[in-house]
Amino acid sequence: MSHKMAKSAVSGIPTFGEVAAEDDAILEYFVQTDSVSTVVDGNKFLILGRKGSGKTALFRYFNEKQPQGSLSLALNLRGYPWAMHAKRGDPDAATAEQYEASWKYVIVTEFAQMVLSKVTGTSEWTSEVKSLRAFFQKNYGGTNVTLEDILRPSSLELSKTSFEPTILGCKLLSVSLERTGSQSGLSRELNALSDAIYEAASYVSQREQLDKILIHFDELDQGMVDFNEQRQLMLIGLILACRSINQQSIKSAVNVKSIVYLRTDMWERLSFSDKNKITMTNLAEIKWNEQSLKSLLDLRINKYIPGASWIDICDDDLMRGRQPKLTHIIARTFDRPRDVISFMNTLLEVSTPRRSAAGESQQFTNKDVVAARPDYSNYLKAELDDEIKPHWPSWDEALQVISGLGKLSFTKASFEAAYNITRLAKNFSSEEAMEILYDFSVIGTYSVQSGYGGSEWVFRYKVRKAKWDENASTFKLHLGLKEHARVNE
Protein backbone atom coordinates (compact mmCIF):
# COMPACT_ATOMS: atom_id res chain seq x y z
CA MET A 1 0.00 0.00 0.00
CA SER A 2 1.29 3.49 -0.77
CA HIS A 3 2.50 5.76 2.06
CA LYS A 4 -0.13 8.31 1.04
CA MET A 5 -2.99 5.84 1.47
CA ALA A 6 -1.56 4.63 4.77
CA LYS A 7 -1.48 8.18 6.17
CA SER A 8 -5.13 8.74 5.34
CA ALA A 9 -6.23 5.33 6.62
CA VAL A 10 -7.26 6.25 10.17
CA SER A 11 -9.41 9.19 9.12
CA GLY A 12 -11.18 6.90 6.68
CA ILE A 13 -12.50 4.68 9.48
CA PRO A 14 -15.59 6.05 11.29
CA THR A 15 -15.79 3.17 13.78
CA PHE A 16 -14.36 -0.24 14.51
CA GLY A 17 -17.83 -1.56 15.26
CA GLU A 18 -20.24 -1.93 18.13
CA VAL A 19 -19.03 -3.35 21.43
CA ALA A 20 -21.94 -5.82 21.46
CA ALA A 21 -20.98 -9.32 20.37
CA GLU A 22 -23.67 -9.21 17.69
CA ASP A 23 -21.62 -6.69 15.72
CA ASP A 24 -21.26 -7.25 11.98
CA ALA A 25 -17.46 -7.34 12.16
CA ILE A 26 -17.55 -10.46 14.32
CA LEU A 27 -20.26 -12.03 12.21
CA GLU A 28 -18.17 -11.45 9.07
CA TYR A 29 -15.18 -13.07 10.75
CA PHE A 30 -17.11 -16.24 11.62
CA VAL A 31 -18.18 -16.60 7.99
CA GLN A 32 -14.53 -16.89 6.98
CA THR A 33 -13.52 -19.43 9.63
CA ASP A 34 -14.47 -23.01 10.44
CA SER A 35 -16.76 -21.87 13.28
CA VAL A 36 -19.86 -22.44 11.16
CA SER A 37 -18.89 -25.97 10.13
CA THR A 38 -18.15 -26.77 13.78
CA VAL A 39 -21.81 -26.15 14.57
CA VAL A 40 -23.33 -27.73 11.45
CA ASP A 41 -21.19 -30.85 11.22
CA GLY A 42 -20.01 -33.37 13.77
CA ASN A 43 -21.15 -33.88 17.34
CA LYS A 44 -20.42 -30.47 18.89
CA PHE A 45 -23.63 -28.98 20.25
CA LEU A 46 -22.50 -26.98 23.30
CA ILE A 47 -20.89 -23.70 22.23
CA LEU A 48 -19.05 -22.04 25.10
CA GLY A 49 -17.53 -18.61 25.34
CA ARG A 50 -16.90 -15.88 27.83
CA LYS A 51 -19.26 -12.91 27.73
CA GLY A 52 -18.28 -10.85 24.68
CA SER A 53 -16.54 -13.70 22.87
CA GLY A 54 -19.02 -13.73 19.99
CA LYS A 55 -21.48 -16.51 20.82
CA THR A 56 -24.44 -14.32 19.90
CA ALA A 57 -22.78 -13.27 16.65
CA LEU A 58 -22.48 -16.94 15.66
CA PHE A 59 -26.08 -17.51 16.74
CA ARG A 60 -27.12 -14.50 14.68
CA TYR A 61 -25.27 -15.84 11.64
CA PHE A 62 -27.46 -18.93 11.53
CA ASN A 63 -30.58 -16.86 12.07
CA GLU A 64 -29.85 -14.37 9.29
CA LYS A 65 -27.69 -16.15 6.74
CA GLN A 66 -29.25 -19.64 6.71
CA PRO A 67 -26.03 -21.28 5.43
CA GLN A 68 -26.38 -23.54 2.44
CA GLY A 69 -27.26 -27.10 3.34
CA SER A 70 -29.12 -26.29 6.55
CA LEU A 71 -32.29 -24.71 7.92
CA SER A 72 -31.89 -22.85 11.19
CA LEU A 73 -34.33 -21.91 13.91
CA ALA A 74 -32.77 -19.38 16.30
CA LEU A 75 -34.51 -19.38 19.67
CA ASN A 76 -33.66 -16.36 21.81
CA LEU A 77 -34.49 -16.97 25.47
CA ARG A 78 -34.50 -13.29 26.38
CA GLY A 79 -37.78 -12.88 28.27
CA TYR A 80 -38.36 -16.62 28.51
CA PRO A 81 -40.84 -17.56 31.32
CA TRP A 82 -38.36 -19.45 33.48
CA ALA A 83 -40.65 -19.37 36.52
CA MET A 84 -43.41 -21.08 34.56
CA HIS A 85 -41.01 -23.68 33.17
CA ALA A 86 -39.75 -24.33 36.68
CA LYS A 87 -43.17 -25.79 37.49
CA ARG A 88 -42.76 -28.37 34.69
CA GLY A 89 -40.01 -30.31 36.40
CA ASP A 90 -40.34 -33.92 37.48
CA PRO A 91 -39.35 -34.34 41.16
CA ASP A 92 -39.42 -38.12 40.72
CA ALA A 93 -36.60 -38.01 38.17
CA ALA A 94 -32.92 -37.99 39.12
CA THR A 95 -31.89 -34.50 40.23
CA ALA A 96 -29.98 -33.61 37.05
CA GLU A 97 -32.78 -35.00 34.85
CA GLN A 98 -35.77 -33.19 36.36
CA TYR A 99 -36.13 -30.85 33.37
CA GLU A 100 -34.79 -33.05 30.58
CA ALA A 101 -38.24 -34.29 29.50
CA SER A 102 -39.79 -30.81 29.42
CA TRP A 103 -36.94 -29.45 27.29
CA LYS A 104 -37.09 -32.45 25.00
CA TYR A 105 -40.77 -31.72 24.42
CA VAL A 106 -39.91 -28.07 23.64
CA ILE A 107 -37.30 -29.14 21.08
CA VAL A 108 -39.48 -31.68 19.26
CA THR A 109 -42.39 -29.19 19.22
CA GLU A 110 -40.19 -26.60 17.52
CA PHE A 111 -38.87 -29.28 15.15
CA ALA A 112 -42.41 -30.34 14.23
CA GLN A 113 -43.55 -26.76 13.60
CA MET A 114 -40.57 -26.12 11.36
CA VAL A 115 -41.24 -29.29 9.38
CA LEU A 116 -44.95 -28.45 8.98
CA SER A 117 -44.03 -25.02 7.61
CA LYS A 118 -42.19 -26.76 4.74
CA VAL A 119 -44.87 -29.30 3.80
CA THR A 120 -45.81 -29.32 0.11
CA GLY A 121 -47.89 -31.42 -2.28
CA THR A 122 -49.16 -34.82 -1.30
CA SER A 123 -47.35 -34.82 2.06
CA GLU A 124 -50.22 -32.71 3.37
CA TRP A 125 -52.47 -35.77 3.23
CA THR A 126 -50.20 -38.18 5.08
CA SER A 127 -51.37 -39.46 8.46
CA GLU A 128 -48.23 -37.98 10.08
CA VAL A 129 -49.01 -34.44 8.92
CA LYS A 130 -52.66 -34.84 9.86
CA SER A 131 -51.73 -36.06 13.34
CA LEU A 132 -49.29 -33.20 13.91
CA ARG A 133 -51.78 -30.57 12.77
CA ALA A 134 -54.56 -32.09 14.88
CA PHE A 135 -52.32 -32.05 17.95
CA PHE A 136 -51.32 -28.43 17.51
CA GLN A 137 -54.88 -27.33 16.73
CA LYS A 138 -56.28 -29.08 19.79
CA ASN A 139 -53.69 -27.78 22.26
CA TYR A 140 -52.52 -24.46 20.81
CA GLY A 141 -55.10 -23.39 18.25
CA GLY A 142 -52.64 -23.76 15.36
CA THR A 143 -49.02 -24.27 14.38
CA ASN A 144 -47.66 -20.83 15.21
CA VAL A 145 -46.82 -21.54 18.85
CA THR A 146 -44.19 -19.24 20.36
CA LEU A 147 -41.37 -20.63 22.43
CA GLU A 148 -42.80 -18.94 25.51
CA ASP A 149 -46.17 -20.72 25.14
CA ILE A 150 -45.09 -24.30 24.45
CA LEU A 151 -45.22 -25.35 28.11
CA ARG A 152 -47.94 -22.91 29.17
CA PRO A 153 -51.00 -25.25 28.91
CA SER A 154 -51.90 -26.99 32.15
CA SER A 155 -52.36 -30.23 30.18
CA LEU A 156 -51.92 -31.59 26.66
CA GLU A 157 -54.92 -33.36 25.17
CA LEU A 158 -54.42 -36.43 22.96
CA SER A 159 -56.82 -38.29 20.68
CA LYS A 160 -57.07 -40.76 17.81
CA THR A 161 -56.75 -37.92 15.33
CA SER A 162 -53.48 -36.74 16.89
CA PHE A 163 -51.39 -39.09 19.01
CA GLU A 164 -52.10 -41.89 21.42
CA PRO A 165 -48.72 -42.99 22.77
CA THR A 166 -48.78 -45.92 25.15
CA ILE A 167 -47.07 -46.63 28.45
CA LEU A 168 -47.03 -50.24 29.61
CA GLY A 169 -49.75 -51.02 27.09
CA CYS A 170 -52.05 -48.21 28.25
CA LYS A 171 -52.93 -45.34 25.90
CA LEU A 172 -52.35 -41.80 27.11
CA LEU A 173 -55.44 -39.61 26.77
CA SER A 174 -53.70 -36.52 28.10
CA VAL A 175 -50.50 -35.35 29.75
CA SER A 176 -50.90 -33.10 32.76
CA LEU A 177 -48.10 -30.52 32.95
CA GLU A 178 -49.23 -29.24 36.34
CA ARG A 179 -48.75 -32.00 38.89
CA THR A 180 -49.67 -32.18 42.54
CA GLY A 181 -47.39 -33.80 45.07
CA SER A 182 -49.22 -37.14 44.76
CA GLN A 183 -48.93 -37.34 40.97
CA SER A 184 -45.84 -38.84 39.38
CA GLY A 185 -44.54 -39.97 36.02
CA LEU A 186 -44.38 -36.65 34.17
CA SER A 187 -41.08 -37.49 32.49
CA ARG A 188 -42.29 -40.88 31.34
CA GLU A 189 -45.51 -39.51 29.84
CA LEU A 190 -43.91 -36.43 28.29
CA ASN A 191 -41.11 -38.51 26.76
CA ALA A 192 -43.68 -40.88 25.22
CA LEU A 193 -45.50 -37.92 23.65
CA SER A 194 -42.23 -36.33 22.50
CA ASP A 195 -41.18 -39.57 20.82
CA ALA A 196 -44.49 -39.75 18.95
CA ILE A 197 -44.16 -36.14 17.75
CA TYR A 198 -40.52 -36.70 16.81
CA GLU A 199 -41.29 -39.82 14.76
CA ALA A 200 -44.06 -38.08 12.82
CA ALA A 201 -41.95 -34.97 12.17
CA SER A 202 -38.97 -37.10 11.17
CA TYR A 203 -41.04 -39.00 8.60
CA VAL A 204 -42.31 -35.76 7.07
CA SER A 205 -38.79 -34.26 7.10
CA GLN A 206 -37.39 -37.23 5.17
CA ARG A 207 -40.35 -37.29 2.79
CA GLU A 208 -39.83 -33.61 1.98
CA GLN A 209 -36.05 -34.15 1.72
CA LEU A 210 -35.41 -31.23 4.03
CA ASP A 211 -31.87 -30.04 4.64
CA LYS A 212 -30.30 -30.38 8.06
CA ILE A 213 -32.47 -28.59 10.62
CA LEU A 214 -30.60 -26.73 13.34
CA ILE A 215 -32.35 -25.49 16.48
CA HIS A 216 -30.29 -22.93 18.42
CA PHE A 217 -30.76 -21.76 22.03
CA ASP A 218 -29.12 -18.47 23.05
CA GLU A 219 -29.38 -15.70 25.69
CA LEU A 220 -29.75 -18.25 28.49
CA ASP A 221 -28.45 -15.74 31.02
CA GLN A 222 -30.75 -12.83 30.16
CA GLY A 223 -32.87 -11.56 33.01
CA MET A 224 -31.09 -13.85 35.45
CA VAL A 225 -30.56 -12.23 38.84
CA ASP A 226 -29.31 -15.31 40.65
CA PHE A 227 -27.86 -18.44 39.08
CA ASN A 228 -29.49 -20.57 41.75
CA GLU A 229 -29.79 -24.34 41.98
CA GLN A 230 -33.12 -24.49 40.17
CA ARG A 231 -31.85 -22.46 37.21
CA GLN A 232 -28.77 -24.66 37.10
CA LEU A 233 -30.96 -27.78 37.00
CA MET A 234 -33.00 -26.26 34.17
CA LEU A 235 -29.88 -25.59 32.10
CA ILE A 236 -28.60 -29.09 32.78
CA GLY A 237 -31.97 -30.39 31.58
CA LEU A 238 -31.69 -28.40 28.33
CA ILE A 239 -28.18 -29.69 27.67
CA LEU A 240 -29.19 -33.29 28.34
CA ALA A 241 -32.30 -32.92 26.17
CA CYS A 242 -30.22 -31.58 23.28
CA ARG A 243 -27.82 -34.48 23.58
CA SER A 244 -30.72 -36.94 23.68
CA ILE A 245 -32.36 -35.48 20.56
CA ASN A 246 -29.05 -35.35 18.70
CA GLN A 247 -28.24 -38.95 19.53
CA GLN A 248 -31.73 -40.03 18.53
CA SER A 249 -31.35 -38.19 15.22
CA ILE A 250 -28.07 -39.91 14.43
CA LYS A 251 -29.60 -43.32 15.05
CA SER A 252 -32.66 -42.57 12.89
CA ALA A 253 -30.65 -40.77 10.17
CA VAL A 254 -32.76 -37.62 10.58
CA ASN A 255 -31.06 -34.29 9.92
CA VAL A 256 -32.01 -32.40 13.07
CA LYS A 257 -29.59 -31.01 15.63
CA SER A 258 -30.10 -28.80 18.69
CA ILE A 259 -27.35 -26.43 19.85
CA VAL A 260 -26.86 -24.51 23.10
CA TYR A 261 -24.82 -21.28 23.40
CA LEU A 262 -23.65 -20.79 26.98
CA ARG A 263 -21.30 -18.58 28.95
CA THR A 264 -18.18 -20.41 30.10
CA ASP A 265 -18.55 -19.36 33.73
CA MET A 266 -22.10 -20.75 33.84
CA TRP A 267 -20.95 -24.10 32.45
CA GLU A 268 -18.21 -24.28 35.07
CA ARG A 269 -20.77 -23.90 37.86
CA LEU A 270 -22.93 -26.78 36.64
CA SER A 271 -22.44 -30.18 38.25
CA PHE A 272 -23.87 -33.47 36.95
CA SER A 273 -22.64 -36.97 36.23
CA ASP A 274 -22.16 -36.70 32.45
CA LYS A 275 -20.52 -33.28 32.44
CA ASN A 276 -17.00 -34.52 31.73
CA LYS A 277 -18.23 -36.78 28.93
CA ILE A 278 -19.99 -33.84 27.26
CA THR A 279 -16.92 -31.63 27.80
CA MET A 280 -14.67 -34.14 26.06
CA THR A 281 -17.05 -35.01 23.21
CA ASN A 282 -19.68 -32.35 22.55
CA LEU A 283 -18.16 -29.01 23.58
CA ALA A 284 -16.70 -26.34 21.30
CA GLU A 285 -15.25 -23.22 22.88
CA ILE A 286 -14.94 -19.88 21.12
CA LYS A 287 -11.39 -18.71 21.72
CA TRP A 288 -9.47 -15.76 20.36
CA ASN A 289 -5.78 -14.91 20.17
CA GLU A 290 -3.75 -12.06 18.75
CA GLN A 291 -3.78 -13.49 15.25
CA SER A 292 -7.56 -14.00 15.08
CA LEU A 293 -8.25 -10.63 16.71
CA LYS A 294 -5.97 -8.96 14.16
CA SER A 295 -7.93 -10.71 11.39
CA LEU A 296 -11.10 -9.29 12.88
CA LEU A 297 -9.66 -5.76 12.86
CA ASP A 298 -8.38 -6.21 9.30
CA LEU A 299 -11.90 -7.10 8.15
CA ARG A 300 -13.26 -3.90 9.68
CA ILE A 301 -10.44 -1.75 8.29
CA ASN A 302 -10.76 -3.27 4.83
CA LYS A 303 -14.50 -2.52 4.86
CA TYR A 304 -13.78 1.22 4.87
CA ILE A 305 -10.40 1.22 3.11
CA PRO A 306 -10.20 -1.58 0.54
CA GLY A 307 -6.85 -3.33 0.63
CA ALA A 308 -5.78 -1.83 3.95
CA SER A 309 -5.00 -3.68 7.19
CA TRP A 310 -3.79 -2.99 10.72
CA ILE A 311 -0.17 -2.25 9.72
CA ASP A 312 -1.40 0.55 7.43
CA ILE A 313 -3.10 2.58 10.15
CA CYS A 314 -0.35 2.68 12.82
CA ASP A 315 3.26 3.83 12.70
CA ASP A 316 6.16 1.42 13.09
CA ASP A 317 7.36 2.58 16.51
CA LEU A 318 7.34 -0.10 19.20
CA MET A 319 5.79 0.46 22.61
CA ARG A 320 7.78 0.34 25.82
CA GLY A 321 9.49 -3.03 26.20
CA ARG A 322 9.90 -3.45 22.44
CA GLN A 323 6.25 -4.44 22.17
CA PRO A 324 4.18 -3.98 18.97
CA LYS A 325 1.13 -1.76 19.45
CA LEU A 326 -1.41 -4.51 18.84
CA THR A 327 0.31 -6.83 21.33
CA HIS A 328 0.26 -3.99 23.85
CA ILE A 329 -3.47 -3.43 23.27
CA ILE A 330 -4.51 -7.08 23.39
CA ALA A 331 -2.57 -7.61 26.62
CA ARG A 332 -5.09 -5.21 28.18
CA THR A 333 -8.09 -7.22 27.03
CA PHE A 334 -9.58 -10.59 27.91
CA ASP A 335 -8.79 -11.83 24.40
CA ARG A 336 -12.31 -11.10 23.22
CA PRO A 337 -13.64 -8.95 20.37
CA ARG A 338 -15.68 -6.49 22.42
CA ASP A 339 -12.61 -5.42 24.40
CA VAL A 340 -10.48 -4.88 21.30
CA ILE A 341 -13.30 -3.01 19.54
CA SER A 342 -13.78 -0.80 22.61
CA PHE A 343 -10.07 0.01 22.78
CA MET A 344 -9.92 0.80 19.07
CA ASN A 345 -12.95 3.08 19.19
CA THR A 346 -11.43 4.90 22.17
CA LEU A 347 -8.18 5.14 20.23
CA LEU A 348 -10.05 6.75 17.33
CA GLU A 349 -11.67 9.26 19.65
CA VAL A 350 -8.62 10.34 21.66
CA SER A 351 -6.40 10.64 18.58
CA THR A 352 -8.85 12.78 16.58
CA PRO A 353 -7.65 16.19 17.92
CA ARG A 354 -4.03 15.35 17.18
CA ARG A 355 -4.75 13.95 13.73
CA SER A 356 -6.85 17.00 12.90
CA ALA A 357 -3.87 19.31 13.34
CA ALA A 358 -1.99 20.30 10.18
CA GLY A 359 1.08 18.25 9.47
CA GLU A 360 0.34 15.58 12.08
CA SER A 361 0.66 11.88 11.34
CA GLN A 362 -2.61 10.26 10.33
CA GLN A 363 -1.50 6.94 11.74
CA PHE A 364 -1.93 5.80 15.33
CA THR A 365 1.11 6.59 17.48
CA ASN A 366 2.41 5.26 20.79
CA LYS A 367 1.15 8.39 22.54
CA ASP A 368 -2.34 7.76 21.13
CA VAL A 369 -2.35 4.24 22.54
CA VAL A 370 -1.24 5.43 25.97
CA ALA A 371 -3.83 8.23 25.91
CA ALA A 372 -6.61 5.69 25.17
CA ARG A 373 -5.81 3.50 28.15
CA PRO A 374 -7.62 5.40 30.95
CA ASP A 375 -11.03 5.49 29.23
CA TYR A 376 -10.62 1.90 28.12
CA SER A 377 -9.69 0.85 31.64
CA ASN A 378 -12.92 2.35 32.96
CA TYR A 379 -14.81 0.43 30.28
CA LEU A 380 -13.22 -2.85 31.37
CA LYS A 381 -14.09 -2.15 35.01
CA ALA A 382 -17.73 -1.59 34.00
CA GLU A 383 -17.72 -4.85 32.04
CA LEU A 384 -16.47 -6.70 35.10
CA ASP A 385 -19.19 -5.05 37.20
CA ASP A 386 -21.77 -6.73 34.98
CA GLU A 387 -20.09 -10.11 35.41
CA ILE A 388 -19.06 -10.07 39.06
CA LYS A 389 -21.65 -7.98 40.91
CA PRO A 390 -24.41 -10.60 40.64
CA HIS A 391 -22.07 -12.89 42.60
CA TRP A 392 -20.39 -10.29 44.83
CA PRO A 393 -21.94 -6.78 44.85
CA SER A 394 -18.99 -5.28 46.76
CA TRP A 395 -16.20 -6.69 44.60
CA ASP A 396 -15.05 -3.22 43.58
CA GLU A 397 -14.13 -2.52 47.21
CA ALA A 398 -11.70 -5.43 46.97
CA LEU A 399 -10.32 -3.77 43.86
CA GLN A 400 -9.86 -0.63 45.97
CA VAL A 401 -7.76 -2.68 48.38
CA ILE A 402 -5.42 -3.49 45.49
CA SER A 403 -5.46 0.18 44.50
CA GLY A 404 -4.32 1.04 48.00
CA LEU A 405 -1.32 -1.26 47.64
CA GLY A 406 -0.24 0.95 44.74
CA LYS A 407 1.50 -1.72 42.70
CA LEU A 408 0.42 -3.78 39.69
CA SER A 409 1.95 -6.87 41.30
CA PHE A 410 1.62 -7.62 45.00
CA THR A 411 1.99 -10.37 47.56
CA LYS A 412 -0.78 -12.40 49.12
CA ALA A 413 0.35 -11.28 52.57
CA SER A 414 0.08 -7.58 51.68
CA PHE A 415 -3.43 -8.05 50.26
CA GLU A 416 -4.56 -10.01 53.31
CA ALA A 417 -3.29 -7.37 55.72
CA ALA A 418 -5.10 -4.57 53.87
CA TYR A 419 -8.26 -6.60 53.19
CA ASN A 420 -8.79 -7.92 56.71
CA ILE A 421 -9.30 -4.45 58.17
CA THR A 422 -12.17 -3.71 55.75
CA ARG A 423 -15.85 -4.54 56.21
CA LEU A 424 -15.56 -7.00 53.32
CA ALA A 425 -13.92 -9.57 55.59
CA LYS A 426 -17.28 -10.14 57.33
CA ASN A 427 -18.69 -11.74 54.17
CA PHE A 428 -15.67 -13.31 52.46
CA SER A 429 -12.29 -14.23 53.88
CA SER A 430 -9.27 -12.78 52.10
CA GLU A 431 -8.65 -16.22 50.58
CA GLU A 432 -12.21 -16.40 49.23
CA ALA A 433 -11.99 -12.84 47.92
CA MET A 434 -8.78 -13.53 46.03
CA GLU A 435 -10.23 -16.71 44.57
CA ILE A 436 -13.24 -14.82 43.21
CA LEU A 437 -10.98 -12.15 41.72
CA TYR A 438 -8.86 -14.89 40.19
CA ASP A 439 -11.87 -16.76 38.77
CA PHE A 440 -12.92 -13.61 36.89
CA SER A 441 -9.32 -12.86 35.81
CA VAL A 442 -9.14 -9.61 37.75
CA ILE A 443 -5.87 -10.98 39.11
CA GLY A 444 -3.42 -13.61 37.94
CA THR A 445 -0.86 -15.74 39.77
CA TYR A 446 2.90 -15.97 39.35
CA SER A 447 3.71 -19.54 38.37
CA VAL A 448 7.17 -21.09 38.35
CA GLN A 449 7.43 -23.91 35.83
CA SER A 450 8.77 -27.10 37.37
CA GLY A 451 11.26 -29.27 35.52
CA TYR A 452 11.99 -26.88 32.65
CA GLY A 453 12.59 -23.67 34.57
CA GLY A 454 11.10 -20.31 33.72
CA SER A 455 8.01 -18.60 35.07
CA GLU A 456 4.89 -16.79 33.87
CA TRP A 457 1.79 -14.92 34.97
CA VAL A 458 -1.27 -17.16 34.74
CA PHE A 459 -4.75 -15.69 34.18
CA ARG A 460 -7.85 -17.86 33.90
CA TYR A 461 -9.07 -16.20 30.70
CA LYS A 462 -5.89 -17.49 29.11
CA VAL A 463 -5.90 -20.93 30.71
CA ARG A 464 -9.45 -21.96 31.65
CA LYS A 465 -8.29 -25.12 33.42
CA ALA A 466 -5.90 -23.20 35.66
CA LYS A 467 -7.64 -23.57 39.00
CA TRP A 468 -7.07 -21.47 42.08
CA ASP A 469 -3.77 -22.25 43.84
CA GLU A 470 -4.10 -21.53 47.55
CA ASN A 471 -0.32 -21.77 47.87
CA ALA A 472 0.36 -18.98 45.38
CA SER A 473 2.08 -16.02 47.01
CA THR A 474 2.52 -13.41 44.28
CA PHE A 475 -0.25 -11.85 42.19
CA LYS A 476 -0.76 -9.31 39.46
CA LEU A 477 -3.69 -7.08 38.59
CA HIS A 478 -4.92 -7.43 35.01
CA LEU A 479 -3.17 -4.82 32.85
CA GLY A 480 -6.50 -3.51 31.55
CA LEU A 481 -7.41 -2.32 35.07
CA LYS A 482 -4.10 -0.56 35.73
CA GLU A 483 -5.33 2.94 34.97
CA HIS A 484 -8.68 2.54 36.73
CA ALA A 485 -6.97 1.22 39.86
CA ARG A 486 -4.22 3.86 39.60
CA VAL A 487 -1.38 1.47 40.32
CA ASN A 488 2.19 1.51 39.06
CA GLU A 489 4.15 -1.13 37.16
- Which domains are seen in the chain, by residue range? 77-281 (no CATH), 392-489 (1.10.10)
Contacts of 487 (CB under 8 A, 6+ apart): 402, 403, 405, 406, 407, 408, 477
pLDDT of 119 strictly over 50: yes
What is the Cα–Cα distance from 244 to 241, expressed in whole angstroms?
A: 5
pLDDT of 5 strictly over 50: no
Both ends of the chain: CA-CA distance in Å?
37
Most confidently predicted of 103-112, 293-302, 308-317: 103-112
Please state the pTM of the whole predicted model: 0.85
What is the Cα–Cα distance from 156 to 191, expressed in whole angstroms?
A: 13
pLDDT tens per residue, range 391-438:
899 999 999 999 999 999 999 999 999 999 999 988 899 999 999 999
Q: Are 311 and 326 in contact (CB under 8 A)?
A: no
For 69-176, where are the alpha helices, taking DSSP H only?
82-86, 100-116, 127-140
pLDDT of 224 strictly over 70: no
The pLDDT assigned to 179 comes to 76
What is the Cα–Cα distance from 95 to 273, expressed in whole angstroms?
A: 10
Q: Are 156 and 174 in contact (CB under 8 A)?
A: yes
What is the Cα–Cα distance from 51 to 68, expressed in whole angstroms?
A: 28
Give the residue from 273, 240, 202, 210 showing the smallest Cα distance to 45: 240
Q: Is 357 helix (H, G, I), strand (E, B) or coil?
A: coil
Model confidence band, residue 3 (pLDDT cutoffs 50, 70, 90): very low
Query: What is the pLDDT averaged over residues 13-35?
Result: 71
The pLDDT assigned to 104 comes to 97
